[in-house]
Each structure stands twice: as C-alpha cells, then as structure tokens.
Structure 1
Amino acid sequence: MKNNKKIAVLGGGGRTGKFLVRQLIDKQYRLKLLLRRPEEFTIENSLIEIIKGDAVNPESIHSLLEGCQVVISTIGQRKDEPMVSSQATLNILESMDTFEIERYILVAGLNVDTPFDKKGEKTKMATDWMKANFSETHADRQKTYSILEKSDVNWTMVRVPLIEFSGNYGSVISSLEDCKGEKISASDIAAFIIEQLSSDKYFKKSPFIANS
C-alpha cells in the first residue's frame, strides 16, 4: 500500500542518498528525485519520478517540490565547485513557501554549531579539524543553520559523524548537545530520517546521531 506523502529528495544519487531512497521505496513512499546526471542513477522503481536539474538552480527546486509534502536533502559538498548547502536551502525554503510545504529534513556534519551544544572533547576536535581543513564548506553549513533558524518551516538538521556506507543497522544514540559516537552507518541515517516523517520530536532542532 502506497504512503500518502510524496517526498522530494535531493542527493538521492549520492552514497548516503541511495540508502535513503531504497528504504523510502521499501516503505512505499512516492518520490521525486533531483539528479544532475539521471543517466547514472541505477535504482528503478515505479514510485520514483526523476527531475533533471541542480539544487543551486531555483527553477530546478521549484519543479522538484511541486506536488510534494516533504523535502529531504542528503546533499554533500561537491569537490572544486561552488558552495551548495546554503543556496539549496534558500531555494528550497522559497519553493516550500510557494507550495505550502511544512517539513524539511537535511543531513549535515557534526561540525555545525548551535547555541544548544555542549560538545565533548572528541566532537570539538572533529569540529576544529573541519574548520581548519574545510573552512569554506564549514562556513556554508553554518550559514545553512542560520537560515533555518530564521525560517518558519518545521526543519530538522541531522548532524552525523563519519559515515560508514554499509547496510548494517546498529544501536543509534541521538542527542541535542553532543555526538555520542565516532561513526554512523548510512542505513541508520536513512532509518532515522524516515522516523522523523511521523514525529515532531526534532522540529526546528539539530540532533546528533551516532552508533553506540
């Protein structure tokens, strides 16, 4: 039986995104995927509709979100390309307003800071490393958080540590203050995101998740 919600997915062709897409299909959600290179996407299912475009393009986002009730993004920064996270979020929020969509879930690194954090030593070290080695990407993700803070939508920014791209499931610890583990499986990220589709626990919040 198909789910009533139709979900717009950004990053569905990426390493984490493919785990998410497969789990959403298993739960019979109807999906609209934004892909820059649809010809490289290998998952085939009648529940999937593909939109060719780019997240930094407002017209692409408008086409993607039309007819959807939820937006999920697992977009990562592209090497040697302009920053994508904050611009994509601005585009998404604009189209969410147009189509009266209320729910936006996205994935970010544990390096994003919020006023509610009480980061432990390991999380602080990982944050500082990201700031030092990928300063532009860090700043763009931090800008994304600031944009979300000012928005009216029910957003959730899921902050994750090192991702293991496996189909394994483990025990997941979530916290609004600190990342309680050093790794998380892509399968568990996907499962956690899907849990948020029927929960208001993390509305307008940025939980850390990790495998224990």
Structure 2
Amino acid sequence: MRKIAVFGASGRTGRYLVEEVIAQGYIPVCLVREESTNKPIQTEVVTHLGSPMNYGAVLETIEGCDAVLCALNIARKSDFPWSTVTSPPNLLEESMKNIVNAMKEKGIKRVITVSAWGVGDSYKEVNWMFRFLINKTNVGVAYKGHEDQERILRNSSLNWTAVRPVGLNNDTKHHPTRISQNGSKKLRMMISRQNVAKFMLEILDDEKYYQTNPSISNE
C-alpha cells in the first residue's frame, strides 16, 4: 500500500485529509505535536510526534512515503480576524523548507499543499472583503505564510500543487468543485474542508496539476 505523509493532520482541514487518504486505500503517516489534543485516532494512521519546523522530525515522517500532503496553517486564538496569532509567524515558511529539502533527500517528488484564494496572482480575483481581511487583520499573517510556502515550492524541482480554496466551512454534504486556473472561472465564496481534502486526493497523480495553483470553490 502507498504511504502518504500528512502534515497538519490534527487541524480542521487535516483531519478530513487523513480520512480521505484512508478512504482511497493509502496509509497516512502523520507528524503531530506531542501536546496536540486532536491526534488522529484511526488505526490505519502511523503517527510521529514532533514539529514540522524540526528537520529531523520531517525526515523521519516522510521515510518510505510516496507523496506528501500539507494542510498546515497559522493558528489564532479564535476565528475572529483580529484574534491573537498563536503559531510562530514563520511556521509555514520553515516547515515547507524542511519538507522540500527532506523530499529531495529521500527522492520523493509529489507534494500538494493547502494555500488560500487571494495568494499570489489570485489576489486580483478576490473581493474587497477578502482584501480587507488580508491587509488589515491578523488573517494576513497566514497569507504571508502561504506566499512564502508557494515561493519555496516554485523554486523547487518537485511536482508540486498549491491548492487555493476560498472561504472554508465544515459542511459534510458533497458538492461538485469549481476549479479556476489563472482566473479562468468566477468562484463562489465557500467550499467545505472535506471537499478540499477530496480534491487533493483526486489530483494526486494528475500531471496536469503539476506546478500549478488551482483556486477552488463549491460549484
């Protein structure tokens, strides 16, 4: 069975990602913080304890894996946009540096990460509300981190995809996914975390998404 390394597995999107990896018949190998209260509990999961900012922990986690999925994000005390940031501001940048370098060391080529709609060239597509949140609130700390991780991926030689979802919710009903490449489609404002996870597994072996930044929403 293929092993898929999952970073951010205890997060709100990462939990769905672990479930989807299992549903597709793969073995998820997860790196989670020892103090995390949301460690994956499925018997199929291989769990390593540590931080993605620690190169040794990342290297140990991806050993023997065929691909890497990343759902790391900058945490705040609450969803209130001005809520205090609780993650290191450079979490995404340093973690992606470690992931890319470890993948090169282990000869793994495929990596998919969760970014955000409004990052990079998709900034011109977002409405005034998204721009306000990015520019005037602590949401911008996460966007800076996503910009950094996308830059690191672009400068790598890996088969990367940075998925840019619109606003996220916890809806568990299935909705078709609308995919926009370089602003090719007008997106809706929401998509479920579960659908983001499903999309990431759907494109795992799809070469047309290599070195791309698809933005996605519900159809």
TM score, norm. by length of structure 1: 0.89
For the pair 1:81 / 2:93, whether they are aligned, the reply is: no
Q: CA deviation at 1:129?
A: 2.5
CA distance in 2, matches of 1:43, 1:10: 12
Aligned to 1:192: 199
Contact 2:10 2:40 survives alignment (8 Å): no
Q: CA deviation at 1:173?
A: 0.4
> Per-residue displacement from partner, 1:161-205 (whole Å, max 9, x unpaired)?
111112111021001223611000111101100011121121011
Aligned to 1:126: 130
CA distance in 1, matches of 2:28, 2:37: 17
> Per-residue displacement from partner, 1:136-184 (whole Å, max 9, x unpaired)?
3322221211111111000000001111112111021001223611000
For 1:13-28, list aligned pairs within 5 A: 13-28=10-25
Aligned to 1:29: 26
Question: What percentage of residue pairs aligned between the two structures are identical?
Answer: 25
CA shift in 2, pair 1:183/1:95, >3 Å: same
> Per-residue displacement from partner, 1:23-57 (whole Å, max 9, x unpaired)?
21122211110110377346433321100001111
For the pair 1:72 / 2:69, whether they are aligned, the reply is: yes
For 1:1-212, list aligned pairs within 5 A: 4-37=1-34, 40-41=37-38, 43-78=40-75, 79-83=85-89, 84-114=91-121, 117=122, 119-120=124-125, 122=127, 125-134=129-138, 135-178=140-183, 180-212=187-219
Q: CA deviation at 1:119?
A: 3.5
CA shift in 2, pair 1:51/1:141, >3 Å: same
Unaligned runs of 5+ in 2: 76-84
SS at match of 2:98: helix
> Per-residue displacement from partner, 1:99-153 (whole Å, max 9, x unpaired)?
0000010001112113xx484352x641443132133332222121111111100
CA distance in 1, matches of 2:149, 2:201: 21
Contact 1:28 1:47 survives alignment (8 Å): no
SS at match of 1:14: coil
Unaligned runs of 5+ in 1: none
CA distance in 1, matches of 2:94, 2:45: 25
| Equivalent pairs, count | 206
Runs of 4+ in 1 over 4 A off after TM superposition: none
